[in-house]
Amino acid sequence: MIDTLETEPSAAAAVFGEQLALGRAFTTNLATHGEELGLIGPLELPRLWTRHVLNCAIVAPLLRPGLVGDVGSGAGLPGLVLAIARPDVNFVLIEPMERRVAWLNSQVQELGLQNVEVLRARAEETKREGSFDQVTARAVSALRTLLPLTAPLLKRGGELVLMKGAGAPAEIGAAEKAIRKYKLSAVEVLVLGEGILSEETRVIRATVG
Q: Which of 202, 209, 174 is nearest to 188 (CA)?
A: 202
149, 154, 168, 184: residue in contact with ligand SAM (rule CB under 6 A)? 149
In angstroms, what is the minimal distance from the CB of 20 to ligand SAM?
Answer: 21
CB contact at 8 A, 72 and 122: no
Tell me: is residue 72 an annotated ligand-binding position.
yes
64, 99, 122, 177: residue in contact with ligand SAM (rule CB under 6 A)? 122
Q: Which of 61, 60, 62, 103 is nearest to 78 (CA)?
A: 60
Residues 89-118 that bind ligand SAM (CB under 6 A): 94-97, 100
75 is a site residue for ligand SAM (CB under 6 A): yes
81 is a site residue for ligand SAM (CB under 6 A): no
Give the whole-angstrom CA distance, residue 76 versus residue 15.
17
Type of residue found at 195: G
Q: Which of 107, 106, 124 is nearest to 22 (CA)?
A: 107
13, 21, 102, 139: residue in contact with ligand SAM (rule CB under 6 A)? 139
Strand 154-164, strand 132-138: pairing: parallel
Strand 90-94, strand 116-119: pairing: parallel
Give the whole-angstrom CA distance, residue 82 versus residue 131.
19
Q: Which is nearer to ligand SAM, 63 or 157 (CB)?
A: 63
In angstroms, what is the minimal distance from the CB of 27 to ligand SAM?
Answer: 13
Tell me: is residue 144 an annotated ligand-binding position.
no
Task: Name the site residues for ligand SAM (rule: CB under 6 A).
Answer: 71-75, 77, 94-97, 100, 122-124, 138-140, 149
Residues forming the annotated binding site?
72, 77, 123-124, 138
Residues forming the annotated binding site for S-adenosyl-L-methionine?
72, 77, 123-124, 138
